[in-house]
Structure 1
Amino acid sequence: MAVRVVVGVDGTEPGWRALAFAVEEARVRHAPLEIRHCWQAPREATAPSGTIMPIVSIGARPTTAAQRIAATAWERAVATLPTHHVQAELVEGPPGAALAEQVTPADILVVGARSTHRLTARWLGSTASRVLNQAPSAVIVVPPHTTTPEEQPFAGHVVLGVAPSAAAAAVLRFGFATARAHDWPLAAVHATTTNDIDSYIDERTLEVQLSPLPPEYGYLQRVLEHWHHANPSTPVRRAVFHGPPTTALARAAAGARLLVLGRTHRSALRRGIEPLAERLITRATCPVAVTPFA
């Protein structure tokens, strides 16, 4: 099934950042770009007396502002991509659910994060968090701000969060495809609490940052073997970072091009428990990709 890049825009700066990211993804993957702007018909308000008072009477038709946002997004996209590769549409409905319905498991859905403040993301919710829980496709969340500190070990890399789970294969597949498309180096990172030192091996130079190596390197070597041989031109580093997954992966992804994580099930969120992906989206300083459900 062919890959489509689908992006949600809303006329805000985070939405335009998501569009710019999606345009580049479509360009390097030679994929069509489909732009979606979600709009909702105005609701009616109930007066104290019980009578119905329409807020705005425009019927179930998109506003001029919605049409303008979609048109502007299309114009920005075709400045880089061929016009026949770009489509812009208005979709009626709440952004999270409406965007999730626009994609298939083979697609890539790109959205912007309005805020990475942890309490905002956790308690108030966002389009990004709703999409993460409903979309069947890979989802890339572009943060409001990105940093590229060159002194970090994986600056400019695609960083994969790799752990023994049903999602590992999807993380490796998406991560290597992205690194290959962009010609970026890749770092596969495993988080552990069994040692207190960050370390990595460069597969090309065999440069080792720690000796003796932690046992987790054996696991990384096994899961990477097939993908490394299938992508010989992609520089690969294996890394073991200490600490809980949230802090270890956020540290590893400092300055990265993209952080890739997996999803293992569709179960509803339990109160008080944040999925790893949502916790990292509030901390990471680079775009975060979450693979389709395993």
Structure 2
Amino acid sequence: MNLPIVVGVDGSEPSLRAVDRAADEAALRGAGLRLVYASLWERYEGGLFAHDVDKPSEDVTGVDIVATAESRARRRQPGVRVTTDLPAEAPEYALVRESRTALAVVVGCRGRSSVTEALLGSVSVMVAAHAHCPVFVVRGSHDTQARSRARGRIVVGVGEKPTGSAAVRFATEEALLHGVPLEAVRAWRRPVHATTGHPLISGEPAHLYEQQATEALEEALRDLPEGLPVQRRTVEAHARDALVAASREADLLVVGARRRHGHLGLQLGRVAHGVLHHAACPVAVVPEPD
């Protein structure tokens, strides 16, 4: 079964940048591209339409939005087969359902400030939290522009369970497809009781935790294909902060998601949630097996 790349569209400029990314991914993978417009999207995102949608917002229909996205995708990647769907349901439910039969889902993100980004990016976060396949969140807005792919690097965060990491496998595949190096980052922190400044007390614990981080990196990367340039980096910091810093020099940041079961259902962990809101480049959230 040839699974497609699915992209959510709503007529906004961020969603059209997501179409660009999705079309490129489909072309690289020899996959089809599926454009999905959920008719209840305005309830979440408002009527901020891109210039490509050449109508007053009050006259724009779902058919117009999909037609504009389809035209853009065909111009960017003429060889990719494009299909469309306009389900009459909320976008997060439509895209999570689509994720069951997709190689990946791609969504845009409009977060514009620390105050409003959680609300404006709610669909993106919900899809990333519940999808059954990797989710690309193409960040970009008035003050957080999604950068063009000119950095030449895929960054992946190595988590607490490095063996068999789906995020590492996905990041490796992306690096190979795009012909760029892979950078693996493992953050570590010494416990509070090991932060004393006395060198006879603090030196050995710090060295121990850094060594454990190095070993975790080696374990995560032990099955990489030969010939792929790889940079290994351990950082003493919160994982979110280390990955956000690394994203400033990356084309894509890849993180794994071991979803937590709680009273609100499946939820992303703090690291994945944090980088979705603060990364300086597109983010791919990859479900990890339990």
How many corresponding residue pairs?
253
Cα 1:176–1:137 shift into 2, 3 Å: same
The answer for the alignment partner of 2:24 in structure 1 is 24
> What secondary structure sits across from 1:267 in the alignment?
strand
The answer for the alignment partner of 2:228 in structure 1 is 234
> What secondary structure sits across from 2:161 in the alignment?
coil
Letter aligned with residue 9 of structure 2:
V
Matched, 1:284 2:276: no
> What secondary structure sits across from 1:67 in the alignment?
helix
2:116 to 117, 120, 142: 120
Between Structure 1 and Structure 2, which shows a larger proportion of helix residues? Answer: 2
Alignment map for 1:49-198 (pairs within 5 Å): 65-82=61-78, 85-104=81-100, 107-115=103-111, 117-122=113-118, 126-144=122-140, 145-147=145-147, 155-165=151-161, 169-194=165-190
CA–CA separation in structure 1 for the residues paired with 2:171 and 2:134: 11
CA–CA separation in structure 2 for the residues paired with 1:90 and 1:187: 38
* Offset at residue 220 of structure 1 (A): 1.1
Question: Are the equivalent residues in 1 in contact too, given 2:272–2:285 (CA < 8 A)?
Answer: yes
Cα 1:275–1:90 shift into 2, 3 Å: same
> What secondary structure sits across from 2:76 in the alignment?
coil
Q: Deviations over 1:29-79 (max 9, x none)?
A: 111111111103999xxxxxxxxxxxxxxxxxxx96110110111111111
CA–CA separation in structure 2 for the residues paired with 1:103 and 1:117: 28
Matched, 1:219 2:216: yes
CA–CA separation in structure 1 for the residues paired with 2:239 and 2:2: 33
The answer for the alignment partner of 1:54 in structure 2 is none
Q: Deviations over 1:142-198 (max 9, x none)?
A: 011134798xxxx42110000222786101110111111111110010011249xxx
- Tell which structure's C-alpha radius of gyration is larger: 1
CA–CA separation in structure 1 for the residues paired with 2:148 and 2:78: 30
Q: Deviations over 1:187-229 (max 9, x none)?
A: 010011249xxxxxxxxxxxxxxx99941222211221112xx
Cα 1:270–1:279 shift into 2, 3 Å: farther
Question: Are the equivalent residues in 1 in contact too, given 2:111–2:118 (CA < 8 A)?
Answer: no
Cα 1:149–1:179 shift into 2, 3 Å: closer
Matched, 1:243 2:240: no
Question: Are the equivalent residues in 2 in contact too, given 1:158–1:256 (CA < 8 A)?
Answer: yes
Structure 1 unaligned regions, length at least 5: 44-62, 196-210
2:255 to 250, 261, 271: 261
Question: Are the equivalent residues in 1 in contact too, given 2:41–2:91 (CA < 8 A)?
Answer: no
Letter aligned with residue 117 of structure 1:
S
The answer for the alignment partner of 1:252 in structure 2 is 246
* Offset at residue 82 of structure 1 (A): 4.1
Question: Are the equivalent residues in 2 in contact too, given 1:105–1:292 (CA < 8 A)?
Answer: no
Question: Are the equivalent residues in 1 in contact too, given 2:165–2:288 (CA < 8 A)?
Answer: no
Question: Are the equivalent residues in 1 in contact too, given 2:159–2:256 (CA < 8 A)?
Answer: no
TM-score (norm 1): 0.76
CA–CA separation in structure 2 for the residues paired with 1:42 and 1:8: 13
* Offset at residue 117 of structure 1 (A): 3.1
* Offset at residue 258 of structure 1 (A): 0.5
TM-score (norm 2): 0.77
Cα 1:270–1:92 shift into 2, 3 Å: closer
The answer for the alignment partner of 2:197 in structure 1 is none
> What secondary structure sits across from 2:250 in the alignment?
coil
Cα 1:167–1:223 shift into 2, 3 Å: closer
> What secondary structure sits across from 1:222 in the alignment?
helix
Letter aligned with residue 250 of structure 1:
V
| Percent of aligned pairs sharing the same letter | 32
Question: Are the equivalent residues in 1 in contact too, given 2:111–2:121 (CA < 8 A)?
Answer: no
CA–CA separation in structure 1 for the residues paired with 2:281 and 2:163: 21
CA–CA separation in structure 2 for the residues paired with 1:105 and 1:212: 44
Cα 1:214–1:108 shift into 2, 3 Å: same
CA–CA separation in structure 2 for the residues paired with 1:75 and 1:237: 39
CA–CA separation in structure 2 for the residues paired with 1:217 and 1:41: 44
